[in-house]
């Protein structure tokens, strides 16, 4: 890359960093950290623990403990490298959260070069429909490939039992279109998280509406921004609830169902 190209890339990174700092989600996580400096976090669909991870900075700061769950082998290998030396504060689990214990089929979308050479992993999901819909949106037909891998899985209840989870302060779910199925498993009584985030980007309009209704029925208020919906238990009167009531999205909420396909963009 030329010197000018490096300057432009650095400027883009700085601009994106400024935009991230202005997001309601970023401000909410910082406010949550002030109220819960020793929070216990479960992140389901942790990917590599860095890319698009809203809690990366707070985890890196060292005050929080976390259980990070990722089923895809390649992403989990990067996650393990990124959190090397963080045990026992951060525990890593190479599995999927599903509706049963045992094994499940993971559908992974890959982008391949002409000739079939692998270029990169796009993402994986237990929802084949979400993967195929995303393939149509993001990857031209000649470059897409969907592979299926059998991975270990367990329910959210089994995950908590196996790791002796006694409380969840923050639950982050990013499972590429399977999010509603995981939210349905959340224990809103004994292990009620104060703050819950799930990715709505790949949910169908019907599932997105039903998921939001479910958390609202359990006493949460919601805020949708970009690809995620954030849900706070506002039945607790404290500075975090006060902050939440003043919070507004910095940008709108995204949905894959409003995007043109890769072929339509040509």
Per-residue pLDDT of 148-168, as tens digits, reads 999 999 999 999 999 999 999
Whole-number Cα distances in Å, 22 to 29, 55, 97, 225: 12, 15, 32, 12
Domains and CATH numbers, the chain: 18-101+151-258 (3.40.50.150)
Sign of the C-alpha dihedral computed for residues 48, 195, 225 and 239 taken in this order:
negative
b (16+ CB within 10 A) / e for 29-47: bebbbebbeebbbbbbbbb
Q: CA triplet 125, 95, 224: central angle to 5 degrees?
A: 50
Q: Do residues 109 and 122 make contact, with C-beta atoms less than 8 angstroms apart?
A: yes
**Distance separating alpha carbons of residues 5 and 150, to the nearest angstrom:** 42
Query: pLDDT tier at 17 (50, 70, 90 boundaries)?
Result: low
Of residues 90 and 3, more confidence is placed in: 90
29-70, pLDDT tens digit by residue? 999 999 999 999 999 999 999 988 999 999 989 899 999 999
Read off the tokens for 56: 């990366």
Measured distance CA(14)–CA(10) in Å, rounded: 6
Q: What is the pLDDT of residue 140?
A: 79
What is the percentage of the chain residues whose pLDDT exceeds 90? 71
């Amino acid at each position: 890359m030329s010197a000018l190209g490096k300057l432009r890339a650095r400027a883009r990174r700085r601009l994106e960093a400024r935009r991230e700092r202005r997001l309601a989600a970023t401000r909410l996580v910082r406010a949550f950290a002030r109220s819960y400096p020793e929070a216990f976090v479960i992140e389901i669909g942790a990917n590599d623990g860095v890319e698009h991870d809203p809690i990366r900075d707070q985890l890196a700061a060292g005050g929080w403990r976390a259980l990070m769950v990722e089923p895809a082998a390649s992403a989990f290998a990067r996650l393990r490298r990124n959190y090397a030396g963080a045990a026992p504060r951060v525990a890593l689990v190479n599995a999927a959260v599903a509706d049963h214990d045992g094994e499940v089929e993971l559908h992974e979308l890959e982008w391949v070069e002409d000739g079939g050479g692998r270029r990169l992993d796009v993402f994986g999901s237990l929802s084949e429909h979400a993967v195929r819909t995303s393939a149509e949106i993001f990857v031209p037909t000649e470059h897409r490939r969907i592979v299926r891998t059998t991975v270990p899985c367990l329910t959210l209840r089994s995950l908590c039992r196996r790791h002796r989870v006694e409380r969840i302060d923050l639950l982050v779910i990013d499972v590429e279109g399977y999010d509603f199925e995981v939210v349905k498993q959340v224990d809103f009584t004994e292990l009620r998280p104060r703050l819950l985030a799930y990715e709505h980007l790949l949910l169908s309009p019907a599932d997105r509406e039903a998921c939001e209704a479910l958390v609202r029925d359990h006493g949460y208020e919601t805020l949708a921004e970009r690809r995620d919906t954030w849900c706070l238990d506002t039945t607790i009167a404290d500075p975090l609830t006060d902050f939440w009531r003043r919070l507004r999205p910095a940008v709108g909420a995204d949905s894959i169902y409003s995007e043109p396909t890769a072929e339509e963009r040509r």
